[in-house]
Chain A
Amino acid sequence: MSTVLAGYGLVKKYGPTTALAGVDVEVRERDSLAIMGPSGSGKSTLLHTLAGIIRPNEGQVLLRGERVDNLGENRLSALRRKRFGFVFQFGQLLPELPAEENVALPLMLEGTPRRQAVDRARRWFAPLGLEGLEQRRPGQLSGGQAQRVAIARALVAEPDVVFADEPTGALDQRTSEEVIRLLTSVTRASGAALVMVTHDADVAAHCDRILQVRDGRISNYSQFTVA
């Protein structure tokens, strides 16, 4: 499998604080990578740097071999919209839109006609166990259901990479287990890679690889074989 996303020699400083101190990381197609570490270790900074949300002070980020960290803000924004998907802890769904329109939003932003976008969005409801919830608004969904809608939204535009930042942080253990299993399996099935920040070892265990980050450096690297 070829490398879809890579970061080499990534350094990020916030004033006197060094959040990333020369990190190298590669993500292959259909790969799932968990980034773990204590608070302030730089794990979220690493995810945001790889996702083109923040620019590194040094180093390069490559997407399918093309450098992306030096793109202009508009092109970076378009890149995030078209090539990446995002799942956050909570609060990412627009409360006034029904679930299917929340999922269809990235497609509509790309100019897909609304009906077509909603049709494509609906296809994600069955694999994620959301049938019958298409018209529900986020406030009418449970936490687990809302996260599954967020996963559908992250995948609907068929991205190269899905970034997840503590996607189960606001869920109970059982729901968390269910959501993470769906996230990893559906992402893999879609052909996208997954990069996820988590502090939960049980959640990280669902990924192919785990990166331990401490003081802005990779302190440990583990590889699992997921059945």
Chain B
Amino acid sequence: MSSPVLPLTWHLTKSSGRRGLQSHLLAAGAAAVGAFVMLVIVAATLGAGTRADHTKWRTPDAVPAKQATAVQALATTYVRHEPVTVVSLAQLPDREQTPAPPGLNSFPKQGEVYVSPALADLLRELPVNQLADRLPKVKSYGTIGTAGLAAPDELVAIVGRTPNAPAVSKAAGDTSSWFDFGQTERAKISGFTGDTPSMFTSGDQGIAVMGVILLAMPVVVLSAAAGRLGAARREQRLAALRLAGATPRQIIAMTALEATALGAVGALTGALAYVVLLPALAQVPFGVGTWYVDTLWVGLPWLATVVVAVTALITVSAVSMLRQVANSPLGVAQQADPRRTRMIRLAFFAASLAVIFLFSGGGLEAKQAVALLLLFYGAFWLFGPWVVDRLGRLVSRFAKRPATLLAGRRLSDDPRGAWRTVSGLVLAGFAAGFFSVSMLGTDTSQYRGQIAVSTANASEARHAATEARTLLSRAGVTATVTTGRADVYDNLLSGGPGVIAHVEGGQEQLDTAVTALTPLGDGRFPYGQDYAGGSDKAAFDRLDAVAFGTLALSFLVAAASAGLTAAANVLDRRRVYGLLRLAGTPLKVLDRARVRETVIPLVVLAGGTTAMGAYGSYQLNKAAGATINTSGAIELVVCVVIGAVAMFAAISGSRPLLRKVTADPAQTAD
């Protein structure tokens, strides 16, 4: 005899009425958001890796001189604060032909210049004396294909040279300055295989992984909230079906089947949204700019994994909820005892913090740092409900109005539930708070307005200074030109020989000066503040992006979770709400109570940890003598305010539902 579970589940799902349909839609919607967010962060992580791989050819593995077929030199120059990567390539005579670099059909001949599409646009857009004159003059530029580029916005040039050209000379590859790291390289090569990605892409994947860690828990919470939806309806069904003779196993199977179907439909919808929105997602800049669409495509195995994972989470959540009901139906309905938290949570958190402080002295390997991060995360996860519990008790103790009293009692009644709703934001808030104001690194502001050209020695510097004055004057740039001194370190030459031009005017004048002074560089580009701070800026920009990306996505997920939980609570508690309203309790009191139930821990915990992160970063910056990223701090405040409003709106979104379920108290009471 075939099992009646499947047809009965289908029949009950079909005939669950409008309220059942609402629950189904909300649950599927939550699964969709969860799957979508997961896919986006997986795509960003994998895509960041792919991008980095696409830049490895620019610093290929060096080979012994005898095996070398070409000389390659990497240089970086800045225009409008954006880095332009220039790869100079020279085929060595009487050696095997070097294969073509990625993005080109053949190894570039001397005098050929290939540029990325974005650089081609910029070359057309800017006056030649601001950018084009830094590159060899050609009739037309070739185009670098996508295989050689990390992103559509990347500014890259490949220049074919002769082996004795200054741009591929040893001097051009000199990396004696600390800020040359990752921006200037030179090697003898026989091909373009290498393991070192560009400085501008190398940290992206690690930072994206951090985003994954921060966002994983909110997505789990959202999925669990989706599974919780309709718990009250299932509870009624359990009672009715048990009376009709169904076994607990059959009921659990039906619940699992229904939750799996809803989860799968939702997760597939989220996956579909991800696929459809891929072109739009690719327009979101991160690191080196916007994305190639195929870079963000995670592939079918990942797509399937995320859909299955989200579906499984929802199913497990729904079944575990039902198991509690099955084990003790009255216990769940009435919840005899408050779910108190123990002091051991505080003790564990304190011990974990001690361990973290003890081992975070420095010189940590990445794995150790991740382990400590996970320890902090886990400890905080255990500590959160304890704080919510105490917060609830505190609020109840001092509450003067019924809505606040109700909210406080609800918090201490189920601190884990309240914590789950806000936990993602609390943790993301801490990270965002920290990274948004952090500007640790070298302060390069004292180099503002300077353009430097290194020379081999002091006498060359004196000669170069005279020439620099002529070149700058001819370019229409007003500047004071000095030579570097061995005892002066507070300029871009840091005591080395060379010329410093103190340029008057804005960025256009600086870009013009760099272009004008390029012939003096003996194969190296003149450089300014952007070059000196390039490495730090690359790291900060990404941390900044991931901090706000994480915070924004956390808010999206948290708002969805809060909205769902609020809706589920209204449905679960519709009888008591209905009866209270019938007895004359104003709707706004009930509404305020349930809003405060989320807003109080959100403001105290998420606001507290965000401020704590920002304060910690501020102190760290102060101690290191670094400036504070004020624009980051302002962005953080704006983001937090918008996010908090979104969460408030999500919770308020269930107000019509509350009004509806209490609108006809006579019906509800019966």
Contact = CB atoms under 8 A, between A and B. Distances in A.
A95 B581 CA distance: 16
A97 B336 CA distance: 11
A139 B337 contact: yes
Interface in A107-137: 108-109, 113-114, 137
B338 interface: yes
A81 B334 CA distance: 25
B585 interface: yes
A101 B405 contact: yes
Given A94-B576, A108-B405, A137-B338, A86 B670 contact: no
Contacts of B583: 80-81, 84-86, 92, 106
Interface string B645-670: 00000000000000000000110011
B410 interface: yes
Given A88-B669, A114-B400, A165-B669, A94 B337 contact: no
B337 A77 contact: no
A96 B406 contact: yes
Size bin of chain B's contact surface: 20 to 34
B589 A109 contact: yes
Contacts of A139: 334-337
Contacts of B335: 95, 139
A75 to B, nearest CB: 11
A56 B411 CA distance: 41
Interface in B80-136: none
A82 B336 CA distance: 30
A91 B665 CA distance: 13
A216 interface: no
Judged by DSSP, the binding face of A is helix
A105 interface: yes
Nearest to B583: A86
A105 B400 CA distance: 11
A93 B336 CA distance: 13
A163 B400 CA distance: 28
Interface residues of A, number: 35
A91 B409 contact: no
B398 to A, nearest CB: 9
**From B335, B337, B405, B669, residue with most partner A Cβ within 10 Å:** B669
B620 interface: no
A155 to B, nearest CB: 12
B669 A79 contact: no
Contact of A77 (B338, B575, B584): B584
Contacts, number: 85
B471 interface: no
Contact of B336 (A45, A85, A109, A140): A140
B406 A97 contact: yes
A91 B580 CA distance: 10
A44 B579 contact: no
Contact of B413 (A45, A86, A96, A140): A96
A91 B577 CA distance: 10
Contact of B576 (A74, A95, A101, A137): A95
Contacts of A77: 581, 584, 586
B666 A48 contact: yes
Given A92-B576, A137-B336, A165-B669, A113 B584 contact: no
Interface of B: 334-338, 399-402, 405-406, 409-410, 412-414, 575-576, 579-586, 589, 665-666, 669-670
Which 7 A-B residue pairings sit nearest by Cβ, starting from the closest? A81-B584, A80-B584, A139-B336, A139-B334, A96-B413, A96-B409, A92-B579
Given A53-B665, A95-B413, 9 more contacts: A77-B586, A80-B582, A84-B583, A86-B582, A86-B583, A91-B575, A92-B580, A96-B338, A97-B405
14 contacts: A44-B666, A53-B666, A82-B584, A84-B584, A91-B579, A92-B583, A94-B406, A94-B409, A96-B413, A97-B405, A101-B405, A105-B585, A108-B405, A109-B589
